[in-house]
Amino acid sequence: MIKYPNGSRVKVDKTIDYGRRGMSLEDDLNATNKYYLESDIAAVYKKPTPIQITKVEYKSRATARITEAYFQTPSTTDYNGVYKNLYIDFEAKETQSKTSLVSSMIHPHQLAHMERVIRYGGIAFVIVRFYSLDETYFVFAAKIINYLRSAQRKSIPHAWFVENGILIPYNYLIKVDYLKVIDQLILEGK
């Protein structure tokens, strides 16, 4: 509460934040992909969560109501699409921790999928946000795969991302401009 000179009290809502915080990485990526789409730059989509449907009620021909279903484990990463002749494939992870990302957040079948993508000539990467630090990193899947497989590591330290990742700049229009990172890599001939 703020006490004004005239004695009235104004409640300050601490949840209001005009910067990035408050938005999840998924929301920011959806907004970014929508921006890319509407600007006619790239077509990248989040795959729907796979769901096993066990019961459906048909009220009419046009409407079906699912009354029993269960979440399934995805066999691939969450995002893929096409940009400048390239197949783009990535997974996005967000952590509240300031020190590390728990390795189990990236599933073994997702690592295997990203390895395939690399073999077939696609660009595979991971976007990791340290929410409390307000930092979002772009990391090539190959680097994360090497790191996680070189030893049984339970987590990836924040310092590792600083060294091996590329900080993705935030701007109001493009929340997570990961294609800018890819543009830079194309320019450098990587």
CB of residue 14 vs its own copies: minimum separation in angstroms? 29
**Short-list 121, 129, 134, 136, CA closest to 88:** 121
Distance CA 150, CA 75 (A): 23
Query: Contact at 8 Å (CB) between 95 and 135?
Result: no
Give the footprint of its own copies on residues 78-97 (CB under 8 A): 80-89
Q: With binding defined as CB under 8 A, does residue 162 bind its own copies? A: no
Q: With binding defined as CB under 8 A, does residue 142 bind its own copies? A: no
C-alpha distances in Å from residue 9, one per residue of 4, 12, 16, 63, 124 = 6, 9, 18, 51, 53
Give the footprint of its own copies on residues 108-127 (CB under 8 A): 113, 116-117, 119-122
DSSP β-bridge partners for residue 92: 127
CB of residue 86 vs its own copies: minimum separation in angstroms? 7
Query: Contact at 8 Å (CB) between 127 and 25?
Result: yes
Site string for its own copies, 36-75 (x = CB under 8 A): -x--x-xx-x-xxxxx-x---------xxxxxxxxx---x
Of 43 and 162, the one with the shorter C-beta distance to its own copies is 43
Q: With binding defined as CB under 8 A, does residue 76 bind its own copies? A: yes
DSSP 147: H
Can you give the binding site for its own copies, defined by CB under 8 A? 37, 40, 42-43, 45, 47-51, 53, 63-71, 75-76, 80-89, 113, 116-117, 119-122
